[in-house]
């Protein structure tokens, strides 16, 4: 293929311009890489000087705060546990011991040494109490209430033929009318 001189000269100028452009681009990329490396170094230094101390301070503050709240929570749980134990020992155990002593007195086994020691372990105050008339009144009242509830249940569930209408009677009444 034969090109004219004018065309050959134009292609030579174009190739020269393209080579210069390629060279300029390589130089720009080299400068950009240099700037990127410098930025990376500066970012590392900034992280060491500014970010790491702030993170350490925040972590220490959070750790101290968690430790304090945990200690406070444990103290609160301990106080609540002590209060519950005290309430149980002062209110519930004497009531159980009193109930056992009353039941033992009603059954007539309160003079037995084994029963006395078991009741005194649950409630030392209950072993010292004597049976009173109130105990017997409470037992009788409870028994009467239990009998009353049983009678009400029996009345509710008993089969009473007069209360029920059979389906035959209903069918006979509708056909007669």
Give the distance from CA 154 to its chain's centroid: 45
Contact indicator for 116, 110 with CB cutoff of 8 Å:
yes
pLDDT digits (tens, 9 = 90+) for 114-162: 766 766 666 555 444 555 677 777 788 888 888 888 888 877 777 665 6
Q: What is the mean pLDDT of the chain?
A: 78
Whether the CA torsion 49, 51, 57, 59 is positive or negative: it is: negative
138-149 as b/e, with b when 16 or more CB fall inside 10 Å? eeeeeeeeeeee
Indicate whether this model's pTM tops 0.85.
Answer: no
d(CA 142, CA 99): 13
pLDDT at 18: 94
């Amino acid at each position: 293929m034969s090109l004219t001189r004018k065309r050959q000269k134009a292609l030579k100028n174009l190739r020269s311009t393209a080579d210069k452009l390629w060279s300029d681009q390589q130089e720009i990329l080299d400068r950009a890489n240099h700037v990127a490396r410098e930025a990376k170094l500066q970012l590392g230094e900034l992280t060491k000087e500014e970010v790491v101390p702030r993170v350490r301070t925040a972590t220490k503050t959070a750790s101290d705060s968690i430790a304090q709240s945990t200690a406070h929570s444990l103290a609160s749980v301990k106080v609540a546990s002590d209060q519950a134990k005290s309430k149980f020992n002062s209110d519930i155990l004497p009531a159980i011991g009193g109930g056992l002593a009353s039941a033992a007195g009603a059954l007539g086994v309160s003079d037995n040494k084994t029963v006395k020691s078991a009741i005194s372990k649950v409630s030392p105050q209950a072993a010292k109490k004597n049976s009173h008339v109130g105990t017997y009144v409470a037992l009788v009242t409870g028994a009467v209430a239990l009998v009353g509830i049983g009678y009400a249940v029996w009345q509710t569930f008993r089969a009473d033929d007069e209360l029920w209408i059979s389906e035959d009677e209903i069918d006979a009444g509708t056909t007669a009318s």
